[in-house]
Structure 1
Amino acid sequence: MAEEKLIWQYVRRWADKYPQKEALVFKEKRVTYKDFYEKTLKVAKLLLELGVNKGDRVFTLSAARDEFFYTYMATAMVGGIWFGLNPRYTLDEFLYMVGDARPKVGFVVRNYDALQRDYKDDISALQKADPGLEHIVIIDNPWEGTLSWEAELSKDRSNLDDALSKRMKEVSEDDPALIIYTSGTTGKPKGALLTHKNIIASASAQNKRFLASTTKRGDGKLLIHFPINHVACAVELAMGGLHWGSTFVLMDRFDPAATLKTIQDEKVTFMGQVPAMFMLQFMLADYDSYDQSSLKTIIWAGSAASEEMVKRLSKIGATLMTGYGQTENAGFITYSKAGDSMEDLIQTAGKCYPPFKIKLVDKEGKKVPEGQVGEIWIKGDLVMKGYWGRPEATAQTLTNKGWLKTGDLATMDSRGYIKIVGRTREMFKSGGYNVYPREVEAVIEKYPGIAFVTVIPVPDETWQEVGKAFIMPVPGKTVEVDAIRELCKKHLANYKIPKQYEVRPLLPLLASGKVDRRALVEEVKAALQKK
């Protein structure tokens, strides 16, 4: 089956092939692929009427619900560039991203029940701050000066059919379709600009590795509860599912119990989460009472999995897989495979397959020998076009030969499997020796009953810096620091062994589900200043 060139064309493909197949399930709504495509056309014609030209930006402020898909695909259809805003963002975060992307049109779900939040004041502030934001379309309860989603989509715009057809033909696979803002762990978020080609290349490769072994094309039910501004939602799941022709089961937030009930009731076959989400589900006293037997594939990424987590998931009977990637390469670049050992699933992130390329290099950009630590560089059609409005940052990240410098450090074995050891910025020196936090964390995670561990550098009078390990046990489990120290002595050189340990019931997490390393670093700095 030949691949499409533009992301929205997959909606049309499945609408033509399976018009009555369920495409989107959100609460009481059940939308077929035929209705999905027809509504996307309506939104596309609305965008044309509102003056959206090729390259104009359009945002959607919403959780993962059906309107997210219509606005995302319609924007791509008219050659615009779509980006999502997380309902959990503060006004300052809204102002920053809208100020950076300069959108012409915004779609807004006015109320977010999970936070009991009304966005009227936030949107009014955005309109005042950015005169270029010409139109706001409100989904539920519009106010004066905004447009009603329901009213606008009920209008007959058949007079724009020819204009839309013409615009569709003007859009190419190399045109940008999506901006995803990075998590901003090292400063202000940067917008990764992804083209139609980037997105489809990523989704196609991902499905070949993750779905093909368990589900035939045109089948499967995918669960989405990630924020729509995250690469896991907008590319890995949304485009992965569209590429495959699956049904989407949408949830407007992650809730451990509600997610498990949805899997049970909707017979979900594919679930992708970050490890923190699985751990929160395991905390439920009635976790084992939920029927997850429909699951055929379970994926995790974003951070390493503990042995405890993988063993628990293996009891479900689904194929377990993991991988590695970045927003800047539109999702995954390495993938594990069905049947990989428990050790590989815990300690590695799989391998890269053609047509994409990966290499590990030193500070001079030279390939490092097998088994040695190097920075991951990536090449292929899935590598972003650049950072939105950031030519200098783009030049620092993309080489003139098309390699993406990830800033992540790893080792590679003889099979090509990589083991992540940390970020270039996370490495520290203890007594003149390089220490890679991820390498140390992987050893500590061998201790039973550990949910998360993060190692950061702290000042030391003798060694300049030493490691401090923050440890979060699985609820109901206890950990013995002396035993962890002995475990480290068995597997690590002395200079790598943390000199300080702190066990906590909870560690700070980012919206992506990763441990907020920077928050811990700032906490330590503040404590030292008080001394």
Structure 2
Amino acid sequence: MVKEFDFLWEYLEYWAGVDRDYTAIKFGDKTISYGELKDSVDALASAFLSLGVEKGDRIATVLPMSPEYVYTFLACTKIGAICVPMDVRYRIAELRRFLGHAMPKVVVSIDIFQDNNVRAILEEIKNEIGSPEMFFLNSEPSFYELLEEKPLKKSVEQSPDDDILIIFTGGTTGVPKATLLSHRNVISMAVGELRSILGYLGREERLNSLIHLPPSHVGGTTELLAVGIINGSKMILIDHWRPDVVIKELSDERIPFFGAVPTMFALVFSFAAQNKIPLPPVEMLVTAGEKLNPEMLRRMMDWCDKIGIGYGSTETSGFATFSRPEDDPDKFTEGYVGVPFEGVEVKIVNDSGEELEDGEIGEILVKGPMVSKGYFNQPEETEKGFEDGYWVSGDLGYMKGGELYIVGRKKEVIRVGSYTVLPSEVEEVAMKNPKVAIAAAFGAPHEVYGEVVWLAVVPKPGAEIDAEEILGACKRELADFKVPKKILVRDSIPLTRLGKADRIKLKEIILQEIS
């Protein structure tokens, strides 16, 4: 039975009370118990209050997924501050824009990540982002001195609808939006996800879990970290995505489930094959973010016969739908992404906002306890993105007997004359070729048709792709207007922060190269 509390810090207190010595975090060679985690969070919460942080103030982090991020995020939930996680790979333009929008009162940061001198950037832009108090992991003023504060004895009075998180949406649809998420949003989503996973596994217990996505993405902070805290899991943290580390940790820690977008699965499969490493035993694979092509589904089924798939976004705190253990996985290749969580409403509408019947393709709208109230200090974006409590997704899909199917993004749809082409239709044909690792289709400008289809493909390690072979397959399987007019074989294509093919960025890069 999944416990239900109003606040994430209550889950931490509960599990610390059940067993103080149970391991909460493993990070490299370091382990931290639930009792130690609670003590650090309480001390940090007290330190933030002594710095003058009040409910609703923003505390930004520029940290990888690490114990220090977990402390900071949970301390924010205890005092009603809003955590604003930044990616450690962000450079000056991104940090200036995002932190200048959030105007944090406190920033907790790593000094340097790989070749990115984060401290130097923050010092340069400090006056532009509200002159926050700044603390660092490896230099003065030291973050660790904050953990020496006397622990907070009583949390700040809050409502479940108070906001605790700002996640900036990925940049694939224009200017990033600062999505506000509340206690209720995060917990309702995480409880729904955890119940789905436990249902697939057929048991109720504390699970070891892999936290391998960045804090700045909803997948890292809510779908993985928040789920782990609610479950009282032993959480294995990875500071940046690496297929070799993922495979090793899944094996060493006997983690029962692994979640990733299809592109990440492709990278894991390629690494394992190239290095002749067996895939570790798992009981369940979880995916989301895009339609599964038949080849990817086959490779996933070869690894593990239990596969769960869901649909959601930053604005829904993560998942809003999830598949059921009894579902036929073959439906995943049709775009099936599960049924709505309890209390969630999904409807499909046309361009006029009229609700469509089963089987009719239109825009997906989602309403429920995990849906954000809107964007931080972006009233125009909030007005466009939310309607009568529904999040307006920009995704195309249809309902069939209470089940949701996705077909693509409105902005990624390719318009060839009067015809509509979904990128996934073309990509699925290309992915049937055993030499193709990743495929991404997009619309290129055309003076007669408006747009025509172009396709970029990345070969698997050691393979050579024959573009004519792929073109022939497209001609055999697709209507003529869907057949790519150009096939580009590339060493790599840009990915979103969650590892999905970034078709919009790819299009920008290729058109710029050609011009």
What is the TM-score normalised by the length of structure 1? Answer: 0.90
Instruction: Give the deviation of 1:301 after TM superposition.
Output: 2.2
Pick closer, same or farther for the CA change 1:486–1:525 going to 2, 3 Å.
Answer: closer
> Quick check: 1:308–1:450 contact (8 Å CA) kept in 2?
no
Instruction: Give the deviation of 1:83 after TM superposition.
Output: 1.3
Please show how residues 41-190 of structure 1 align to structure 2 within 5 Å: 41-112=42-113, 115-133=114-132, 135-142=133-140, 146=141, 148-155=142-149, 157=150, 161=153, 165=154, 167-168=155-156, 170-190=157-177
> Quick check: 2:259–2:286 contact (8 Å CA) kept in 1?
yes
Match of 2:321 among 305, 311, 334: 334
State whether structure 2 residue 345 is matched by structure 1 residue 357.
yes
Question: Matches of 2:45 and 2:171 in 1, distance apart?
Answer: 32
2:480 counterpart residue number? 494
2:299 counterpart residue number? 312
In structure 2, give the amino acid aligned to 1:367. E
2:360 counterpart residue number? 372
> Quick check: 2:335–2:407 contact (8 Å CA) kept in 1?
no
In structure 2, give the amino acid aligned to 1:435. V
State whether structure 2 residue 256 is matched by structure 1 residue 269.
yes
> Quick check: 1:378–1:405 contact (8 Å CA) kept in 2?
yes
Structure 1 unpaired stretches of 5+ = none
Question: Matches of 2:496 and 2:505 in 1, distance apart?
Answer: 9
In structure 1, give the amino acid aligned to 2:54. N
2:374 counterpart residue number? 386
State whether structure 2 residue 330 is matched by structure 1 residue 343.
yes
Instruction: Give the deviation of 1:313 after TM superposition.
Output: 2.8
Deviates more, 1:296-305 or 1:74-83: 296-305
1:432 counterpart residue number? 418
> Quick check: 1:458–1:524 contact (8 Å CA) kept in 2?
no
1:421 counterpart residue number? 407
Instruction: Give the deviation of 1:242 after TM superposition.
Output: 1.4
Q: Match of 1:438, SS?
A: helix
- CA-atom RMSD, angstroms? 2.2
> Quick check: 2:100–2:130 contact (8 Å CA) kept in 1?
no
> Quick check: 2:108–2:136 contact (8 Å CA) kept in 1?
yes
In structure 1, give the amino acid aligned to 2:242. D
Q: Match of 2:396, SS?
A: strand
> Quick check: 1:61–1:106 contact (8 Å CA) kept in 2?
yes
Instruction: Give the deviation of 1:109 after TM superposition.
Output: 2.1
In structure 2, give the amino acid aligned to 1:465. E
> Quick check: 1:421–1:437 contact (8 Å CA) kept in 2?
no
> Quick check: 1:217–1:244 contact (8 Å CA) kept in 2?
no
Q: Match of 1:211, SS?
A: helix
Question: Matches of 1:481 and 1:184 in 2, distance apart?
Answer: 30
In structure 2, give the amino acid aligned to 1:79. G
Instruction: Give the deviation of 1:370 after TM superposition.
Output: 2.8
Structure 2 unpaired stretches of 5+ = none
Pick closer, same or farther for the CA change 1:483–1:415 going to 2, 3 Å.
Answer: farther
In structure 2, give the amino acid aligned to 1:126. I
Question: Matches of 1:43 and 1:212 in 2, distance apart?
Answer: 36
In structure 1, give the amino acid aligned to 2:130. P
Instruction: Give the deviation of 1:408 after TM superposition.
Output: 0.7
> Quick check: 1:471–1:503 contact (8 Å CA) kept in 2?
yes
Question: Matches of 1:141 and 1:445 in 2, distance apart?
Answer: 48
Instruction: Give the deviation of 1:493 after TM superposition.
Output: 3.3
Question: Matches of 1:527 and 1:288 in 2, distance apart?
Answer: 36
Question: Matches of 1:84 and 1:246 in 2, distance apart?
Answer: 22
In structure 2, give the amino acid aligned to 1:351. G
> Quick check: 1:61–1:84 contact (8 Å CA) kept in 2?
yes
1:517 counterpart residue number? 503
Q: Match of 2:412, SS?
A: coil
Question: Matches of 2:506 and 2:437 in 1, distance apart?
Answer: 17
Q: Match of 1:84, SS?
A: strand
Instruction: Give the deviation of 1:527 after TM superposition.
Output: 4.7
Instruction: Give the deviation of 1:454 after TM superposition.
Output: 1.6
Deviates more, 1:473-482 or 1:7-16: 473-482
In the alignment of these two chains, the number of paired residues is 512
Q: Match of 1:9, SS?
A: helix
Deviates more, 1:201-210 or 1:491-500: 491-500
Q: Match of 2:124, SS?
A: helix
State whether structure 2 residue 252 is matched by structure 1 residue 252.
no
> Quick check: 1:75–1:81 contact (8 Å CA) kept in 2?
yes
Question: Matches of 2:22 and 2:509 in 1, distance apart?
Answer: 51
1:466 counterpart residue number? 452
Q: Match of 2:122, SS?
A: helix
> Quick check: 1:261–1:290 contact (8 Å CA) kept in 2?
no
What is the TM-score normalised by the length of structure 2? Answer: 0.93
Pick closer, same or farther for the CA change 1:513–1:247 going to 2, 3 Å.
Answer: same
Q: Match of 1:315, SS?
A: helix
In structure 2, give the amino acid aligned to 1:153. L
1:505 counterpart residue number? 491
Question: Matches of 2:425 and 2:296 in 1, distance apart?
Answer: 19
Question: Matches of 2:467 and 2:88 in 1, distance apart?
Answer: 39
Alpha-carbon deviations, 1:313-353, whole Å to 9, x = none?
Answer: 32333622222211011101222233543422333242223
Question: Matches of 2:145 and 2:50 in 1, distance apart?
Answer: 14
> Quick check: 1:334–1:349 contact (8 Å CA) kept in 2?
no
